[in-house]
Amino acid sequence: MNWKPVYAILILFSTVTTWLSGFLMERQKNRKKVFLIISLIINFSILFLYKYFDFLNQIVFDILDNLHIKYEIVNLDILLPVGISFYTFQAVGYTIDVYRKDIKHEPSIINYALFVSFFPQLIAGPIERAKNILAQFRELKILTKENLFGGLKLMLWGYFLKLVLADRLGVYVDAVFNNIENHNGSSILLASILFAFQIYGDFAGYSLIAIGTAKIMGFDLMTNFIRPYFATNITAFWRRWHISLSTWFRDYLYIPLGGNRGSKLKNNFNLFITFFISGIWHGANYTFVIWGALHGFYLILEKKFAIKQVKSKNFLMRLFPIIITFILVDLAWIFFRANSLSDAFLAITQIFTTAGENLFIKGDVLLGSIIALLILFIKEFKDEFFENKYRFLSNSNPYISASFSVLLFSIILLLGVFDSGQFIYFQF
């Protein structure tokens, strides 16, 4: 409302329609499929209108133009409402859960409205499930020391990921990707690698800040990231990256399509269409479509060649598959970050054809980036291979825990970039 007051009507409308659909599905069980379909059509129509109408219009125009058919393009030219993809999926998930009898209809529209519009995760997730959080709104919440300090520590690490890691790396990444044609292959390759960590720091940072904020108030939100760049295949990556979205697509799209049941061809189709739609969910642009399609293609190949996860706790045993997985993921990230499809293909072409010595990176940006990446690696490596040892922020000794908290806070103040833009996933 603060940004554009009329957009409050959208979330209110989505809330009321999905709550009513749940109510009617329980009251008139013989028509519950009808109410579910109406709810899905209404909510996805809103999402389509505000996010995809102009994109689809442009596709139609391009096709007809190639056929030499004149078509007067009419764009709505409307701003994308903040958080619409997230709260729409969360609300739709509720109606499907009620339809499947996984949960009962929430009798209180106030509690349900809180579920849809819960402020910590409203704008960029995690995309919560009704069965996890709705019951929490019915409980009396009391501020406790454990929740207060536990939440603040999560937020502190989240702010490090955002301000020190993501925003500092973003200085170089943005300079390169916003001016691709003037950079050599080495510079673009470095920027693409750094973007992988920028988007991780940006989105995982937001998720931790949201989870920490909720925890302070006594609410437990689902984990959204588990060290994705230690994954040893693409399947493992998607079990660690944006978990709330990947599990949403698994439960509400992939499995209803048939999942891994049926023929190999059908299974491959289910995988591909799930990730193709996941790409479209991220944005109305060909670059996101290619990004999603690439991940679908990766998973099909992974199944075909039976590439399994390496679960050894020995880092050296996992190093090669970690590197291969990262290369594949990073290749797809180029399409995700590029401003256009032509920029993405130019970037890949430059990487393989115009290697150069000059990386065009300032000394202070390089030093700050190295420090941030080193701290990230130490923390993630420790958590991955020595989960119950060498605890820093969550050490049982309050003096050790407090010391590392102060140290991390000082690093944020010293190296944080405080004049950067919003979180990347706000655009979705």
Q: What does the alpha-carbon distance between residue 413 and residue 403 come to, in Å, rounded to a whole number?
A: 15
289: left (phi over 0), alpha (psi -120 to 50) or beta: alpha
**Catalytic annotation, pick one of 105, 183, 242, 282:** 282
Query: 295 catalytic, yes or no?
Result: no
Nearest C-alpha neighbor of 199 from the set 333, 299, 50: 333
Q: Scan for tokens 């009620």, then name that residue.
A: 98
Query: What are the catalytic residues?
Result: 282
